[in-house]
Every structure is written in C-alpha cells, then in structure tokens.
A and B are shown apart, each in its own frame.
Chain A
Amino acid sequence: MSNSTKLVPTPGQTVGPFYGYALPYEKDRELLAPGSAGSIRLQGTVYDGAGHPIPDAILEIWQPDAEGNIVHRTGSLVRDGYTFTGFGRSSVGNSGVYTFTTVNPGPTEPGAAPFISVVIFARGLMNRLFTRVYLPENEEALAKDPLLSSLDPERRRTLIARRDADGGLTWDIRLQGEGETVFLDFEGTGTGGATK
C-alpha cells in the first residue's frame, strides 16, 4: 500500500483496575519453568510519585533468548513448559512487586548490550509506557549503546538492573519523581508525554 495512506493512531486509555480477571493467565510470568537450566528471576517494585508501591500495575516483557535470537514461536498464552516464546506478563501484587522467570537475554548483534523490552500499564496511567531494562554486565557494550549513551548518568542508571546474589535481576520502576524511570517515545511525536 502506498505511503500516502497515513492513519492517525487510536488513542490509548488506562488499563483500569479490573484487568486482574482478564489479562493474567496460567504461567504468564514464567517464560520458562522456574528452576530450569539457565533460568533467572527478574523482579522489582513499581512506585508512584510519593514513593509508594502501586498495587495495580501490570508489566509485559519481550526479549531475545540467551543466544540473542529473536524468537517467533507461538504459545505464550498456553505454555507447554518447554517452548521459549520471549513474552511474559506479570501483574504486581499488593506490595507492588512483579516477578518473571526468564533467561538472561543475549546480544542480538555481536558487542550489543542485551536488554529486555518492557511495557507498563496501571490504573491512573492514561497510556502504556515503554522502557528497557539492561543487564548490568559488560560496561563496554553499555557505554556503546545508542539509547544509554544519549542519557545523562543519573537517568541512565534507571535502565540498568542490579545483579542479585542468586544470579537474578532486580529492577524497580518509578513512574514519577526522584529516580523517575526513563520512558520511551518511539514515534517522536511527544504526544501523551508530560505536558505542564
């Protein structure tokens, strides 16, 4: 179809509070079985501008496998326990904590900094927010990363997870205020962003 057909995107709206009986599904946060070879825990807390955990947010992650391959496999909603599809969904609990069982993403190109793509929904959040979480290792790759290198050091830190003693990753999200997570606008329109 010709490029002259440009349609205006449908506006987003808040996910509201009652997705809890609709979006969650069995093993939604288990991209692979907990305890299986290579599995790690990715966890964190979602905070509001007052520093309080949000009890009604939901996160999705989308990532390459441990070798850096972008997978094209179905079976995210009906998991067979073996197929890694790269997609996961976790609602936070009452304490604002989300948890995924996944693998360390591999670099999609040699020397690239591996990251997991994240989208956040919450009651009170008018539209989804995109962000990324990077692995803390390989300073050289992190320094070369186009997104990270475009951020000042304080903001850059919000996108890099902490490696836990058990080999897992901890990464908190702050929707507002001190240490506010960097959220991404892929369209460059600025619409929906902070206004005044």
Chain B
Amino acid sequence: MPEDVNLATYNADALTEDLSDAVPATPAAAPTDVPAAAQRVETQQDLSAEIKALGDAYANVLKDGAAPETQPRLDFAPYRSSILRHPTKSLHHADPETIELYSPAFGHQDVHALESDLTIQHNGEPQGERIIVAGRVLDGDGRPVAGQLVEIWQANSSGRYIHKRDQHPAPLDPNFTGVGRCITGPDGSYRFTTIKPGAYPWKNHLNAWRPAHIHFSLFGQEFTQRIVTQMYFPGDQLFPLDPIYQSIVDQDARDRLVANYDHDLTQPEWALGYNWDIVLTGSKRTWTENEALGAEGDDHE
C-alpha cells in the first residue's frame, strides 16, 4: 500500500509531489478499510500545530543547554513522506577512510560554460523575473572548494517543474527547463543566471505550498562533504508553514538556507542579484595548497 494512503494524508488529485503509483486518482477511491478518523483531510492548521509543538520542544531543550541542531531532522513527521523513510537507528559514527577522503574530479570537459545560464537554453526568453544567484562554496575551515561540480534545478516562474509527473496546472514555459551546472572557480565561486522560481502546491496536506526554492547539489574535496540542499528567497511568507523548511528546527540553521538580496550583484536593466554562500562539512584529509587551483586531471592534464 502506498505510504501516503497508509498515513491518511491528503490525496487530492492533480497536486504535486506524490509519486506513489498506486495512489488513487481521487479521494473517493481511497481504500474502505482505512478508519474513518484517518480519512480526515489534514489542514495547514493541523500541520502548523505539529510543527509548533516540535519547535517549542526544541526551544526548551536549547534553553536547558542543549547544543543547537545544525541539520534537518531525518525524523520530522510533519513532512509526511519522511515517516517511513528515516532511519530509526542512530547514524553510526565512522572515520572516513581511503576513497571517502577524496572526491570525484570534475572538469570543463564535464560542464560547458553556457550551462550556468538557464535563460539561454532555448530559442526565446523565459517568462519571469530574471535573477543572478552567486556565492562561494567553502569547507568547514573557510577554505574555498575549487573545481567542484554545482548542479541546480528548479520550477519555472509559475511554480511548475518540467518533470512529467509535475501535474500542477500552471503553465509550462517552452523556454525554460530549469537545470543548470557549473564548476566552482579557484576561489570557490559559482554563479548562475536564471528565473526566480514560483511557489507551488503539493500533497503533504490540504493547502500545502512550498516556498520558492532552487535545489542545489554540491561536491567537496572529500566524498563525505557531498550535499543536496535548497536555497530559499528572503522574506517568504510560506516559511513558517512549510514542513520541509521547518524540518530544520533551529532558526539560525534555517537562515543559512536563505539567500541575501545583493544590490551590488544586481545588474542595471537586466537582473536582480542574490548572494548565497554554502559551507560544506569539515575536511578530514591533510589538505595541500595546490588543491585551491581546482581539480587535478582536468582537460590539460
């Protein structure tokens, strides 16, 4: 049985995010053996109460001297899809060994320079607010992560992904795919030109909307630094309502996912600028200065 039926979450048709094949097309097709109480549609108020209870409990342990949590909780029930997908055992501490102390090498043969501009991939201009998103990728010691792959993907300006299973009835943009890549420079810098993504509805509960966001995929100098995350935009009214953003229970940690509007990055009569720096985990390997020059073994090896 698909998880979201088991958990009696909202199953309205034509909303996004639920990819379980066997989910009924309409609420009327829900299995009859689900208790009536479990079929109640959960509202934003229900979810917000759950989020608040978890946030209040965290505030209390923090007040009692607990260390701040810097990462999302894997076990965060308000994000319903996480319920059956979080490990129940503590992660096992391990010291990185051999292959884990290195990362795959990426070079300019892997990524074309034009892939960092998401607005020029088609025959015309995409719809929406053109933006520049730029920043640096650093390790836990503040050193630039040079020559590594940054991948992004996002919805278009009306909040729709080009993915065939995104059935949100907002227009597709024939001039916007929403995928970009680049390799970080010697100073760890990355830069994309794109379109500000729209907010969109999803099926976690009734009236669930994701804040606008851009997905980021990053590699460090070691495989243990690998991370996928999401960049958000400042001042979004949906932050308090979103179980994915709120799975990071610490406000300072949440703030690290929000880009800064940067007027120096904004270009006259062209695009608004957002700055967002990304910090990977600390490095365990003895690090050599020449790594700041980028991946070894690039085209010129």
Chain A positions within 8 Å of B, measured between CB atoms, are 1, 3, 5-23, 48-50, 52, 54-56, 60, 62-64, 70-78, 85-87, 94, 105, 108-109, 112, 115-117, 119, 121-130, 146-147, 150-151, 155, 175-177, 180-196
B20 to chain A, nearest CB (A): 7
**Contact present for B256 and A8 (CB under 8 Å):** yes
A119 and B222 alpha carbons, distance in the complex (Å): 13
Q: Does B240 contact A (CB under 8 A)?
A: no
Interface residue count for B (Cβ, 8 Å)? Answer: 95
- CB nearest neighbor in A for B256: A10
Which of B28-36, B88-96, B123-131, B266-274 touches A? B88-96
Set A63, A119, A194: member contacting B75, Cβ < 8 A: A194
**Contact present for B244 and A186 (CB under 8 Å):** no
**Contact present for B142 and A5 (CB under 8 Å):** yes
**Contact present for A128 and B105 (CB under 8 Å):** no
**Contact present for B92 and A183 (CB under 8 Å):** yes
Interface residues as binary, B91-125 with A (CB distance below 8 Å gives 1, 0 otherwise): 11111111110111111011100000000000000
**Contact present for B90 and A76 (CB under 8 Å):** no
**Contact present for A124 and B81 (CB under 8 Å):** yes
A-chain residues with CB within 8 Å of residue B226 when the two chains form the complex: 60, 119, 128, 130
**Contact present for B20 and A191 (CB under 8 Å):** no
Set B85, B93, B280: member contacting A175, Cβ < 8 A: B85
Which of B217, B244, B257 has most A Cβ within 10 Å? B217
**Contact present for B84 and A194 (CB under 8 Å):** no
Q: Does B37 contact A (CB under 8 A)?
A: no
A-chain residues with CB within 8 Å of residue B81 when the two chains form the complex: 123-124
A195 to chain B, nearest CB (A): 5
| 13 new A-B contacts at CB < 8 Å, known A11-B253, A52-B84 | A6-B282, A11-B248, A16-B17, A18-B166, A52-B1, A72-B295, A87-B104, A108-B98, A125-B74, A126-B86, A190-B90, A191-B69, A194-B86
Set B69, B99, B141, B228: member contacting A121, Cβ < 8 A: B228
Chain B positions within 8 Å of A, measured between CB atoms, are 1-3, 6, 16-17, 19-21, 69-76, 79, 81-100, 102-107, 109-111, 138-143, 149, 151-153, 161-163, 165-166, 177-179, 181, 215, 217, 223-224, 226-230, 244-245, 247-248, 252-254, 256-257, 278-282, 284, 295-299
B-chain residues with CB within 8 Å of residue A125 when the two chains form the complex: 74, 82, 85-86
**Contact present for B165 and A192 (CB under 8 Å):** no
A98 and B298 alpha carbons, distance in the complex (Å): 29
**Contact present for B223 and A119 (CB under 8 Å):** yes
**Contact present for A129 and B87 (CB under 8 Å):** yes
Set B72, B138, B143, B281: member contacting A187, Cβ < 8 A: B281
A-chain residues with CB within 8 Å of residue B248 when the two chains form the complex: 11
**Contact present for B256 and A11 (CB under 8 Å):** yes
A180 and B90 alpha carbons, distance in the complex (Å): 11
**Contact present for A151 and B98 (CB under 8 Å):** no
